[in-house]
Structure 1
Amino acid sequence: MSEIPPARPRPPGHFRIGTVFGAEVLVSASWFVVAALIAVVMAPRVDQAQPGLGPWKYLAGFAFAVLLYGSVLLHEASHAKMARRYGYPVSSITLHFLGGMTSVEGESRRPRDEFMIAVVGPLTSIVVGLAAVGLLFVTPDGLLLLAVQGLAFANLLVGVLNLVPGLPLDGGRVLKAVVWGSSGNMHRGTIVAGWGGRLTAVAALSWPLVLRYGLDTEPRIIDYVLAFVIALFLWSGASAAMVSARLRRKLPGIVARDLARRTTTVPEDLPVAEAVRRAQDASAGSIVTVTADGRPVGVVSEAALLATPEDRRPWLPTSSVARTLDDGLLLPVDIRGEELVLAISRMPAAEYLLLQQDGTIFGVLSTADVDTAFRSAGG
């Protein structure tokens, strides 16, 4: 698939550094904090590998952080490449303090798609780690050897840990795909993988206890902090996936046709007051402006209409309170569920025009009505 996903507002505190496979690569501000910590932690080892660097050892440590996150980017890029291969748009790749995240639009359509998109990331990390292990035998002593050792350890660790069967880890998506494929129920797969993520969170929280009683090592403050942060990340990610699965189970019941407001069509230059009168006479809940040949060109904004004083309505053309109908505001009348929610998120608006298969107008869909139906489904 060659299309680049539509641009979206960039999250605050994120910086764009380029694109990979058509997806924006963003770096979170939190990454710089982690990079600085890595530089400080690595400084003593840099001093051992290359004595005499002085303050430059921190720069070497920072360079190692950049190299490390380069391999994380490679991990996420493999997700993006596989997703696009199966026809799923990828909006962005984000590098943050806990690693990276690839934003793939929409749910997987088949278990195989979910499995392949998920598993390719950890496998890429493991391959990079094994390649680095191979380089250890030909790399001379010094900073370069330290970097290769770090790459080998980090990538093998990331690859293996990401295969743990619990959401939001890649292994959780693999488990979801397996359960989905065997049961035929995607939502069941998500719930099972979500519980796997919660159990993994509990295991992460107990890491300081493992150090103390299992490895006879006194845990440091940083061990407690990291255990808490990782456990919180896993638990919240798994819980969010489980809530989303329960909502998505009810999404197919949300059909645009059922939510459509009856509409009346009026010429673009018809006064607003007359357009409102015609809509009231027809018991219509929306107004669409059309050209002389009947082609729809705008949908009246309810907010703009209410903001227009009644004494001005006889003198203003209806087009003055209508939004131009761009392609994203024209939806098929039978669109439903997740596809409907995704279409609305791509082109946010208050109203959309619903068309039948032959191109004729069926009605107008209000985002407020969709939100109400969504909340009802979630309840």
Structure 2
Amino acid sequence: MSDTKEDRPPGALLMGRPFGVPVYITPTWFLITGLITWLFGGQIDRVLPGLGAARYLVALFFALAFYGSVLIHELAHTVVALRYRLPVKRIQLQFFGGVSEIEKEAESAGREFWLAFSGPLLSLLLGAVFLGGMQLVESATVPGVLLTALMLSNVVVAAFNLLPGLPLDGGRMLRAVVWKATGSPMAGTVAAAWVGRLLALAVLVGMPTLAAYQAPGSGFSGLLVDAVLGAILAAIIWNGAAGSVRVARLRERLPQLSARGLARTAVTVVQDTPLAEALRRVEAEGARAVVIADGRGEPVALVREAAVRAVPEHRRPWTAVAAVARDLEPGLMIPADLVGEELLDTLRANPAAEYLVVERDGSPLGVLAAQDVELAFARAMAGQAPLPPVPTGTPA
């Protein structure tokens, strides 16, 4: 998987490629790591007052180890996704933990459940490992404090992610359960998204309320910090739930994107045919594209619409179609049966303006223009029906 500028999040640093998946830390990671170091350093001072300034080194070690645990949580999702042959674009460590960007949906409710549950499960197992380590050391020591903090943090991460609302892992597990019960992935998404919205409201109100109840003397500044953190976390959950519904609705509509349905009717000419004659045949036959064939009738090139437009009309009788064509490379021939995400993935892997659409026996069906796919995709995102085929016209 290539590390292109498009794949790298803005300002992020590449840390490695476990299992071939790039792992990035975003600029917000440094902010939260510094905040954890400062807050945890103050807590260590109450338990181990003799450490002095060294407590912040211990706190920094905890912050790094905590994010190491978060990375392991995300790697659990990644390993399961790869096991199910689902491509993982990248892992990001950021302000509120981490995220694994899995590019395709699981094929079944059962796989969706285990894909979601793998992260919290591994966090719970890490918590158990740190709990076992706590039995081997004194609690009022640096190792004891670190192991206790790591045990608690992993349990909290697991418990929080198991809350049954999108975009949390527990929400995806709820989605899988509803999907299994109803047979509809969309029904599962809607149910889990509404629970996610309720969780967002609970966090927005609950965090400052709980903080005020537990520490009534913390003052206005402490309450304000909790209220701001609660608002940020609530916004992330709310937007994630809404985004999950948008993505699910889009995936429902993606079957509208069909290579067969979007293919333009084409005329076939030989390479020395004048461009004006080729366009006359396009108009006469109600086609919208031109394919160049060799002496045996096999397609060898596609006339480029942009190149045709660049030729002045008075020059077209003297310009051969070969001058405005692109050789037909293997990546420019796509099966007519491609639909939805599979079609988009194929076009992304072989960027071009036009593609030859072929039947299973290799016979040409027509020409697929990238701009037609983009328009159909935009209409699908907007919830609009696909446009009917344009009956006649020329590629110019």
What is the TM-score with the length of structure 1 in the denominator? Answer: 0.87
Q: Shift of the alpha carbon at 1:210?
A: 2.7
Question: Given the alignment, which residue of 64, 69, 72 partners 2:70?
Answer: 72
**Contact residue 301 and residue 328 of structure 2 kept, 8 A:** yes
Q: Find the residue that maps to 2:9 and give its secondary structure.
A: coil
Taking structure 1 as reference, are residues 71 and 257 closer, same or farther at Cα in structure 2, changes over 3 Å only? same
Q: Shift of the alpha carbon at 1:159?
A: 0.5
CA displacement, residues 174-209 of structure 1 (integer Å, 9 cap, x when unaligned): 011111111111111111111111111111101245
Between structure 1 and structure 2, the one with the greater Rg is 2
What is the TM-score with the length of structure 2 in the denominator? Answer: 0.84
Taking structure 1 as reference, are residues 134 and 372 closer, same or farther at Cα in structure 2, changes over 3 Å only? same
What letter matches 2:203 in structure 1?
Answer: A
Q: How does 1:259-274 map to 2 (within 5 A)?
A: 259-267=262-270
Aligned-pair Cα RMSD in Å: 2.9
Q: Write the distance in 1 (CA, Å) between the matches of 2:170 and 2:368.
A: 39
**Contact residue 211 and residue 226 of structure 2 kept, 8 A:** no
Taking structure 1 as reference, are residues 311 and 347 closer, same or farther at Cα in structure 2, changes over 3 Å only? same
Taking structure 1 as reference, are residues 113 and 130 closer, same or farther at Cα in structure 2, changes over 3 Å only? same
Taking structure 1 as reference, are residues 118 and 259 closer, same or farther at Cα in structure 2, changes over 3 Å only? same
Q: Write the distance in 2 (CA, Å) between the matches of 1:42 and 1:375.
A: 48
**Contact residue 50 and residue 142 of structure 1 kept, 8 A:** no
Match of 2:390 in 1: none
Q: Write the distance in 2 (CA, Å) between the matches of 1:111 and 1:305.
A: 49
Q: Which moved more, 1:186-195 or 1:365-374?
A: 365-374
CA displacement, residues 258-308 of structure 1 (integer Å, 9 cap, x when unaligned): 211012344557665555455444433123345555554543432343244
Taking structure 1 as reference, are residues 229 and 300 closer, same or farther at Cα in structure 2, changes over 3 Å only? farther
Is the aligned partner of 1:338 residue 2:337?
no
Q: Write the distance in 2 (CA, Å) between the matches of 1:71 and 1:269.
A: 65
- Paired residues, what number? 375
Match of 1:95 in 2: 93
Q: How does 1:1-379 map to 2 (within 5 A)?
A: 9-47=7-45, 49=48, 51=50, 54=53, 57-140=55-138, 141-211=140-210, 214-215=213-214, 217=216, 218=218, 219-267=222-270, 275-290=278-293, 294-310=297-313, 318=321, 321-323=324-326, 325=328, 327-377=330-380, 378-379=383-384
Taking structure 1 as reference, are residues 179 and 261 closer, same or farther at Cα in structure 2, changes over 3 Å only? same
**Contact residue 76 and residue 93 of structure 1 kept, 8 A:** yes
In structure 2, runs of 5+ residues without a counterpart are: 385-396
**Contact residue 208 and residue 230 of structure 2 kept, 8 A:** no
**Contact residue 5 and residue 23 of structure 1 kept, 8 A:** no
Q: Find the residue that maps to 1:220 and give its secondary structure.
A: helix
In structure 1, runs of 5+ residues without a counterpart are: none
**Contact residue 92 and residue 99 of structure 2 kept, 8 A:** yes
**Contact residue 208 and residue 226 of structure 2 kept, 8 A:** no
CA displacement, residues 204-254 of structure 1 (integer Å, 9 cap, x when unaligned): 101245326654635522211110111111111101111222333333343
Taking structure 1 as reference, are residues 277 and 132 closer, same or farther at Cα in structure 2, changes over 3 Å only? same
